[in-house]
């Protein structure tokens, strides 16, 4: 597709990397000519320096032939204005990044009045992901499908769980037949396992489970199956605000540490149920006085990745049961693999996945669209949710008869109120929602799961 993107910061660069891998034709606009040149050279895309709010600039960049327009500059207002001009000048779908909590309750109004197709808030998405992790502290990552009726949960295997030595085909009796192991990471390698795969200590399992069964499953595995009751959050920025709002609604006690006195005053007004502490979150003595040893969870949300990592490691050393750290730079993936940090949240991955999912659905509006997309296990596996809107060679045929691509698993079929963990005799029907996990990238339609 023809995509025009305004804003060549960290999010814009991450989006260009993802979308260029998907084979789209991309043109970038930024007021900083050096940033434009760097992205053009690194990703082999088109670009021009200029003002994304200028109709002249947009026309020169090709807005009239663009199918998707994305605005991810550092200013919410500029993003909204760029999308409005793009909508008036061209005929494209428009996507704006809007982060200010002030606008969070006005999204529908802005979309209607400004003609914006999608308004996306990565900070709010990150806060919701962290909130889910604190409600299920045994998991290192949780992704939701089918309006949160089904979850993919990642956790490390330990000796205490009783899974070591089991083959996957024998796990049904232990975990329940409505639970399925979808992917495994071992020694840095990722696989979609067969029933003969034998679980080892230290494996990272990604399992699919109905949301209502997650707590009982963790209980069976002798893992914490209840929400944390308290959280110490370092960093009172936008994510810290959204997260605390989520947590206090779930009756979790929250303490926020921030070094900016004026911000602490604002937070005390916005979040009266939380305890706001003014101080240096990197000061170990201050953290101990703030109650770190007694906290059931610790979340590091400063604007400096290195600080977040060091704080998380220090909290782990103090015995905090659940730790979550926010990381902005995607290049830190490999460095974090060997570190003892429970969960890491990348806001830029969240926005990229959402936009890629939306664009894939646009490419196939008449067919069986991608409804949800996550990249799991360090971005090496895709988990996709498809809606089956029409009959095809997939429908009405037993799964055993389907010639699907290798390294792919149909892991769930949702039919009305039924959640089906499929066996070979099950069939896909029109109207179903189907969840697929695969090592292959770039699927747009459920028919893409079939081998050529």
CA 367: distance to chain centroid? 25
Mean pLDDT throughout 156-164? Answer: 90
Report in angstroms the alpha-carbon separations of 388 from 80, 149, 151, 214, 420. Answer: 33, 18, 20, 26, 15
Q: What three-state secondary structure class fits 186? A: strand
pLDDT score, position 334 = 61
Taking the C-alpha atoms of residue 24 and residue 405, their distance in angstroms, rounded to an integer, is 24
Answer yes or no: is pLDDT of 11 > 70.
yes
* CB neighbour burial string for 22-55, b if at least 16 within 10 angstroms, e if fewer: bebbbbbbbbeeebbeebbeebebebebbebbee
Please report the pLDDT score of residue 284 as a whole number.
92
**Of residues 376 and 420, more confidently modeled:** 420
CA distance 214 to 286: 36
Overall average pLDDT of the 231-250 stretch: 95
Strand partners, 280: none
In the chain, count of helices (H) and strands (E)? 14, 22
User: Mean pLDDT throughout 38-60?
Assistant: 92
DSSP single-letter state for residue 95: E
Q: What band does 374 get if pLDDT is binned at 50, 70 and 90?
A: confident
Burial (CB count within 10 angstroms: exposed 0-12, middle 13-18, buried 19+), residue 150: buried
Is the pLDDT assigned to residue 323 strictly greater than 90?
yes
Please identify which residue in the block is written with the tokens 């099950």.
426
Integer Cα distance of 151 and 156 in angstroms? 16
Q: Residue 114: pLDDT band by 50, 70, 90 thresholds?
A: confident
Report whether 228 contacts 322 (CB < 8 A): yes
Residue 16: DSSP 8-state? H
Residue found under tokens 């830190």: 332
3-state secondary structure of 134: helix
pLDDT tens for each residue of 22-48: 889 999 999 999 999 999 999 999 999
What 3-state class would DSSP assign to 45? coil
pLDDT confidence of residue 228: 94
109 — phi, psi (to 5°)?
-60, -45
At residue 368, does pLDDT exceed 70?
no
| Domains of the chain in sequence order | 2-120 (3.40.50.720), 230-345 (3.40.50.720), 356-449 (3.30.70.1450)
Largest CA distance in the chain: 65
pLDDT at 337 over 80: no
Strand partners, 414: 419, 433
Distance CA 18, CA 22 (A): 7
Neighbouring-strand partners of residue 320: none
The pLDDT of residue 251 is 93
Per the structure block, which two tokens stand in for 147?
């309006």
pLDDT digits (tens, 9 = 90+) for 440-452: 988 888 999 999 7
What does 355-419 look like in DSSP terms, one character per residue? HHHHHHHHHTTTS--EEEEEEETTTTEEEEEEE--S--TTBTSBGGG--BPSSEEEEEEEETTEE
Instruction: Catalogue the E-assigned strands of 22-109.
Output: 25-30, 46-49, 68-71, 93-97
CA dihedral sign of residues 152, 156, 159, 165: positive
What is the average pLDDT value for the chain, to the nearest integer? 90
Identify the burial level of 425 via C-beta atoms within 10 angstroms of its C-beta, where 0-12 means exposed, 13-18 middle and 19 or more buried.
Answer: exposed
Mean pLDDT, rounded, for 110-124? 89
Are 420 and 150 spatial neighbours (Cβ–Cβ below 8 Å)? no
Tokens 């179903």 locate to: 432
- Supply φ then ψ for residue 443, to 5 degrees: -75, 135
- Conformation bin of residue 401: beta by default, left when phi > 0, alpha when psi is -120 to 50: alpha
Look at 52 and 188; give whichever has higher pLDDT. Answer: 52
Predicted pLDDT at 101: 86
């Amino acid at each position: 597709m023809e995509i025009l993107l305004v804003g060549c910061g960290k999010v814009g660069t991450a989006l260009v990397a993802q979308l260029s891998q998907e084979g789209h034709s991309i043109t970038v606009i930024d007021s900083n000519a050096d940033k434009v040149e760097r992205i053009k050279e690194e990703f082999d895309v088109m670009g021009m320096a200029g003002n994304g709010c200028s109709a002249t600039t947009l026309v020169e960049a090709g807005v009239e032939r663009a199918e998707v327009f994305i605005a991810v500059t550092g200013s919410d207002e500029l993003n909204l204005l760029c999308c409005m001009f793009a909508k008036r000048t061209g005929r494209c779908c428009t996507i704006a990044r809007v982060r200010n909590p002030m606008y969070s309750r006005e999204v529908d109004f802005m979309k209607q009045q400004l003609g914006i197709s999608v308004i996306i808030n990565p900070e709010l998405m990150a806060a919701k992901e962290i909130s889910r992790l604190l409600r299920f502290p045994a998991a290192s990552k949780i992704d939701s499908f089918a309006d949160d009726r089904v979850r993919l949960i990642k956790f490390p295997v330990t000796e205490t769980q009783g899974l070591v030595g089991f083959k996957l085909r024998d796990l049904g009796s232990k975990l329940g037949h409505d639970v399925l192991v979808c992917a495994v990471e071992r020694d840095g390698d990722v696989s979609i396992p067969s029933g003969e795969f034998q679980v080892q200590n230290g494996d990272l399992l990604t399992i699919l489970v109905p949301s209502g069964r997650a707590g009982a499953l963790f209980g069976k595995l002798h893992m914490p199956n209840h929400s944390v009751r308290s959280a110490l959050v370092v960093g009172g920025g936008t994510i810290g605000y959204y997260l605390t709002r989520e947590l206090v609604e779930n009756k979790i006690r929250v303490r926020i540490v921030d070094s900016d006195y004026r911000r602490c005053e604002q937070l005390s007004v916005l979040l009266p149920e939380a305890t706001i502490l003014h101080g240096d979150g990197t000061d170990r003595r201050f953290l101990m006085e703030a109650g770190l040893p007694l906290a059931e969870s610790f979340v590091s949300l400063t604007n400096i990745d290195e600080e977040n990592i060091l704080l998380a490691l220090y909290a782990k050393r103090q015995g905090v049961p659940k730790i979550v750290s926010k990381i902005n730079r995607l290049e830190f993936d490999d460095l974090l693999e060997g570190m003892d940090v429970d969960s890491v949240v990348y806001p830029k991955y969240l926005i990229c996945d959402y936009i890629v999912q939306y664009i894939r659905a646009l490419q196939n509006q008449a067919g069986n669209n991608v409804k949800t997309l996550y990249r799991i296990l360090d971005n090496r596996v895709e988990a996709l949710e498809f809606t089956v809107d029409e009959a095809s060679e997939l429908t009405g045929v037993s799964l055993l008869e389907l010639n699907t691509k290798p390294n792919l698993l149909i892991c769930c079929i949702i039919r009305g109120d039924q959640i089906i963990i499929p066996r070979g005799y099950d069939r896909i029907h029109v109207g179903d929602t189907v969840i697929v996990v695969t090592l292959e990238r770039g699927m747009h339609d459920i028919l893409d799961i079939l081998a050529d």
